[in-house]
Amino acid sequence: VLQKIYVKDISFESPRTPDIFSKNIAPQTQLNIKSSSKEIAPDLHEVILTLTVEAKDKDQTLFLVELQQAGVFLIRGYKTDECRALVGSYCPGALYPFAREAVATVVSRGGFPQLLLQPINFDALYAQALKQQASDDGSVGGQSLAGTFGEPH
């Protein structure tokens, strides 16, 4: 159960403004995403979804957004593996719509066209993270995930 949702940290940089507004550009956007979690009390978990969005035209950065969207989740009555799956997949998925909205707002306020980030399958990312972790060290912790996505702006 989601108890609280909040922005833990947000940053927006646009090093080429206002010059880029008068140029014909074809930006490419890259999204890096990861999540982490910690138990802050019995049955209470803080989950942090970190998004880094960078838009470039050729080799020039147009804007960079870094966001930590966080939430406190009450997770009770689940086995350890089920709890890990909730924290590693369900919770980041619950935070993502709020993170998308925060990124879209800050990019628009930076003077750029609306940026709509695509939906993400957090179950697939979690499964990929488990597979990677198992092949790296033979263990399965399942407490974090990461992914990189490119999309035209």
Q: Average pLDDT, stretch 119-133?
A: 90
Are the beta carbons of 21 and 80 closer than 8 angstroms?
no
pLDDT for position 134: 82
**Residue 135's pLDDT band (cuts 50, 70, 90):** confident
- Alpha helix (H) residue ranges in the chain: 80-85, 91-109, 122-137
Helix (H, G, I), strand (E, B) or coil at 19: helix
Q: Average pLDDT, stretch 18-44?
A: 92
Domains of the chain: 2-133 (3.10.420.10)
Of residues 61 and 153, the one with the higher pLDDT is: 61
- Please tell me the least confidently modeled range out of 75-79, 123-127, 133-137, 142-146: 142-146
User: Across all residues in the chain, what is the average pLDDT?
Assistant: 89
| Strands (DSSP E) found in the chain | 2-13, 28-41, 44-57, 60-74, 145-152
The C-alpha angle with vertex 137 and arms to 132 and 138, in degrees rounded to 5, equals 85
pLDDT for position 153: 44
pLDDT for position 85: 92
**Residue 27's pLDDT band (cuts 50, 70, 90):** confident
Global pTM reads 0.85
Sign of CA dihedral 35, 131, 125, 57: positive
Strands, sheet with 28-41, edge to edge from the N-terminal-most edge strand: 2-13, 60-74, 44-57, 28-41, 145-152
